[in-house]
Amino acid sequence: MRLSELDALTADPHLWDAPENAQKLMTEKNRLQEKLHDYDSLAQRLKDCMDLIELAEAENDTAVLADTENQLFELQKEAATKELESLLSGEADPNDTFLEIHAGAGGTEAQDWADMLLRMYNGWANKHHYKVEFLEESPGEEAGIKSVIIKVKGKNAYGWLKTESGVHRLVRISPFDANARRHTSFASVWVYPVIDDSIHIDINPADCRIDTYRASGAGGQHINKTDSAVRITHLPTGIVVQCQNQRSQFANRDEAWSMLRARLYEFELQKRAEKTKNIEDSKADIGWGHQIRSYVLQPYQLVKDLRTEVETSDTNGVLNGDIDLFLSAALASHLEPTTS
C-alpha cells in the first residue's frame, strides 16, 4: 500500500473504532515513513558530498577531497545495507528473534564448538547494538555448552539472522587432544522470530504439557534454585520449549509461552514453504544433516558458506562476529516466503 493511501486511511476519524486494524495501519505507515526518511537522508548526504568535492576540486584542496571520498565510501556501504534491508519483507522480519544452538555428537569437542558459535553471534549482536538475553543454557561436562537459547532484541533481528538455521561444521586441531590431531565438529543453529501482538497464534492449552524443574547452568545469583524453570511440550507437533533465566516460575512460564507461539509460527512458515518448493529440498533446508557453513582452521584458514559460495580467510574476524558478508549474501539469495 502507498503512503498516500495510508495517510488517507489513518486520517479517518473512525479509524480507532477497530483498534487492531488501526494498529496495523499505523505500524505500516510508520515503517514506510522511516524508509522514506532513510532515502531522503542518503540522497541529501550524497548531494552534500558531491557539492563538497566540486568545491574542493576548484580550490585544489586535496585534504578535503580525501576526507569526502572516505565519506562517499561509507555512504556507499550504508546504502548497500539499506538496499538489503528493503528485502526484509517477511511478516516477522522486523521482530526480535530466538536463536538456539545445539552441540552435535562428539562430546567436549562439539560442546566447545557450540560455545564458540554462541560467542560469534553474541559478538555480531554487540557490533550491531542489539541486546542479547539468555533464556536457557545447558553447560558441557568439561567445557563449552550442550545447548543454549538466546533472544536477540533489536530492529530486524529476525530478518538478518533467519538464514542462519542449519548445521555449522568446524575443522581444527583439537585443544582437547593430547596428540594434537585434527577434529571435525558439528553444531546446529535454529532461528525463529519473537511473535508480537500483530501476529495471532492460537494455542489450545489442552494440547500442551507443562513441566517445572530446578534451574541449572550459568547464572549465579540470577538463577532461582527452586523449581522455577518451565518446559512446555506441544503434543500435536512435538515441539518443546523451555526457559529458566527468570527468577520466578511465572515469568519463565510467560516467556516459554512466547517461545512456543514463535516456534508454531515458524512451523507454519515451513509448512507453507513446502507447498511451493520440492518437499525433500525443503526438508534438507531445516534438517540436522543440512550443512550451511564450514569453518576450517587447520590445515588452512577458510570460512565458506555452502549455499552462496561466499568465503573468507579471516576466520578470527568471523568467529568474533564479523558475519555480515554471509548474512547479506544469504538474504539476497534465499528470501523467505511471506505469509500473506
Residues 108 and 185 in one domain: yes
Q: Which residues of 112-131 are buried (b: 16+ CB within 10 A; e: fewer)?
A: bbbbbbbebbbbbbeeeebe
pLDDT at position 287: 41
Residues 193 and 218 in one domain: yes
Alpha carbon of 4 to those of 7, 10, 41, 111: distances in Å? 5, 10, 20, 53
Any idea what the CATH number is for the domain that residue 313 is in?
Answer: 3.30.70.1660
Cell, residue 283: 526438508
Residues 198 and 288 in one domain: yes
Last residue of a domain, one of 30, 54, 85: 85
Residues 212 and 256 in one domain: yes
Number of compact structural domains in the chain: 2
Helix/strand/coil for 199: coil
Its domain, for residue 46, covers 3-85
Residues 78 and 184 in one domain: no
Any idea what the CATH number is for the domain that residue 53 is in?
Answer: 1.20.58.410
Tally helices (H) and strands (E) across the chain: 9, 11
pLDDT at position 246: 78
Residues 146 and 16 in one domain: no
Q: Which amino acid, residue 114? A: A
Backbone angles phi, psi at 243, to 5 degrees: -145, 140
CA–CA dist 173, 120 (Å, integer): 19
pLDDT at position 206: 92
Other beta carbons less than 10 A from residue 180's beta carbon: 9
CA–CA dist 216, 231 (Å, integer): 13
CA–CA dist 58, 336 (Å, integer): 49
Residues 6+ apart with CB under 8 A from 229: 212, 213, 214, 215, 216, 242, 243, 244, 249, 252
Nearest alpha-carbon partner for 288 in 170, 194, 192, 169: 169
Other beta carbons less than 10 A from residue 189's beta carbon: 21
Last residue of a domain, one of 24, 50, 85: 85
Residues 136 and 8 in one domain: no
Residues 58 and 98 in one domain: no
Per-residue pLDDT of the chain (340 residues; tens, 9 = 90+): 566 666 676 777 877 888 777 777 777 777 778 778 888 999 999 999 999 999 999 999 999 999 999 999 999 888 877 777 777 777 788 899 999 999 998 788 999 999 999 999 999 999 999 999 999 899 988 889 999 999 999 989 999 999 999 999 999 998 887 787 888 999 999 999 888 666 677 788 999 999 998 876 554 444 445 678 899 999 999 999 999 887 788 889 988 998 898 888 888 877 765 654 543 443 344 345 578 999 999 999 999 999 999 999 999 999 999 999 999 898 888 544 444 3
Backbone angles phi, psi at 92, to 5 degrees: -105, 0
- CB-based burial label for 93 (10 Å; 0-12, 13-18, 19+): buried
Residues 123 and 63 in one domain: no
Nearest alpha-carbon partner for 256 in 246, 241, 245, 266: 241
pLDDT at position 53: 92
Residues 25 and 163 in one domain: no
Backbone angles phi, psi at 242, to 5 degrees: -155, 155
What predicted TM-score, i.e. pTM, was given to this entire model? 0.68
Cell, residue 88: 526484509
Residues 21 and 143 in one domain: no
Q: Which amino acid, residue 98? A: F
Last residue of a domain, one of 23, 54, 85: 85
Residues 188 and 205 in one domain: yes
pLDDT at position 220: 41
